[in-house]
Amino acid sequence: MYGVCRQFSLLYISLFQLLHFPIDKFTLVSLPRHIFARYICANQTHFNIDFYEFCSDEYYKKKFKFDDTDKAYFMNLSYSQIMSSYKHNLGLSLFPLPSSSNNNALLKAKQLFEEAITLDPHSARNYFNYALLLEKYCANDDE
């Protein structure tokens, strides 16, 4: 069920926007193979919202085996990074199977990955999956 956390987190952000909560108070936080929503209070404390429960920072540090020295994770994502994550996920959904030969889906996935890279040019996974797509796309062009 990898990826479900991303969809739930994006759903939470969308619902908060629809309910007119200030969007700058909500963000996503990325971990290795996991993502969750976070509400930031006025005094800069925060609540981590994961599926249907609130989890502490310590819970994630223990479960995913990392500490405060790992600066690549546990940061609040910017709006641009959130949108990049969303477009990246959509792109992934368009070519999940190695046998996929639907050129329209591949072209749309290519466009989504390019948009994701523009929104977050420092995301290695955007480039990695874009390269996988290009390899698949170029292989289909040769046929």
The fraction of the chain above a pLDDT of 90, given in percent, is 14
Residue 84 C-beta-side C-alpha neighbours within 13 Å? 22
Q: What is the mean predicted confidence (pLDDT) over 66-83?
A: 80
Q: Quick one: pLDDT band at residue 120, thresholds 50, 70, 90?
A: very high
Q: Is the pLDDT of residue 143 over 50?
A: no
Whole-prediction pTM value? 0.74
The fraction of the chain above a pLDDT of 70, given in percent, is 86
Q: What is the mean predicted confidence (pLDDT) over 5-23?
A: 81
60: Cα separation from own chain's centroid: 17
**Higher local confidence (pLDDT), 88 or 5:** 88
Residues 85 and 6: their CA atoms lie apart, in Å, by 8
Give backbone dihedrals phi and psi of 95, rounded to 5 degrees, phi first: -145, 55
